């Protein structure tokens, strides 16, 4: 999949939207990001797309100063 985002107008039931908003608030996401997350998870679960890459954050400690590169 491309990283490029495409706008798409969505008509959605008001109760479903309210539930998505509450869920998004719980997950500290925007409702748009929550809808995209749920759709992506459903696509992977139903084998419509493959999960190619996960974001991994790592902290690297340098031997010379004992500090991680993120602590500068």
Banded pLDDT at 59 (limits 50, 70, 90): low
Query: Helices (H), strands (E): how many in the chain?
Result: 2, 0
Banded pLDDT at 61 (limits 50, 70, 90): low
- Among candidates 33, 35, 31, which has minimal Cα distance to 21? 31
CA–CA distance, 47 with 7 (Å, rounded to integer)? 24
CA–CA distance, 20 with 32 (Å, rounded to integer)? 9
Sequence spans of domains, the chain: 14-71
Confidence at residue 57, expressed as pLDDT on a 0 to 100 scale = 46
Confidence at residue 64, expressed as pLDDT on a 0 to 100 scale = 62
Q: Which residue has the higher pLDDT, 33 or 53?
A: 33
In this predicted structure, the answer to whether residue 16 has a pLDDT above a threshold of 90 is yes
- Among candidates 61, 26, 21, which has minimal Cα distance to 70? 61
């Amino acid at each position: 999949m491309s990283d490029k985002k495409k706008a798409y107008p969505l008509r959605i039931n008001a109760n479903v939207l309210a539930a998505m908003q509450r869920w998004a608030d719980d997950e500290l996401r925007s409702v748009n990001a929550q809808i995209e997350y749920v759709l992506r998870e459903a696509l992977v679960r139903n084998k419509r797309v493959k999960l190619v890459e996960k974001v991994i954050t790592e902290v690297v400690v340098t031997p010379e100063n004992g500090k991680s590169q993120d602590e500068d």
